[in-house]
Amino acid sequence: MARYSKKSQEKVKESMEEMKEGTLKSGRSGKKVTNPKQAVAIGLSEARKEGAKVPRKSAGQAKKAKPKSR
């Protein structure tokens, strides 16, 4: 069974093309996206919002960094 739906694959492809053209902007800051990993993350996020079949974010990404003990 496919991990990602066709719709989500198309969204990622669109965001990668936008990044290569230089038209893909990040969410809040509105800065130009230059990192391919960030472009993939934006594509998956957009697909998730549209209801496409996308696996949940991994627990490692959701965890916050522990403060260092002194």
Q: How does residue 70 score in pLDDT terms, banded at 50, 70 and 90?
A: confident
Residue 58 has pLDDT above 90, yes or no: no
In degrees, rounded to 5, the angle at the alpha carbon of residue 42 between the alpha carbons of residues 15 and 30 is 90
C-alpha distances (whole Å) from 64 to each of 3, 42, 44 are: 26, 20, 21
Average pLDDT over residues 34-53: 90
pLDDT, one tens digit per residue, over 2-29 is 688 889 999 999 999 999 999 999 888 9
Overall residue count recorded for the chain in this entry: 70
Q: Is the pTM value of this prediction over 0.85? A: no
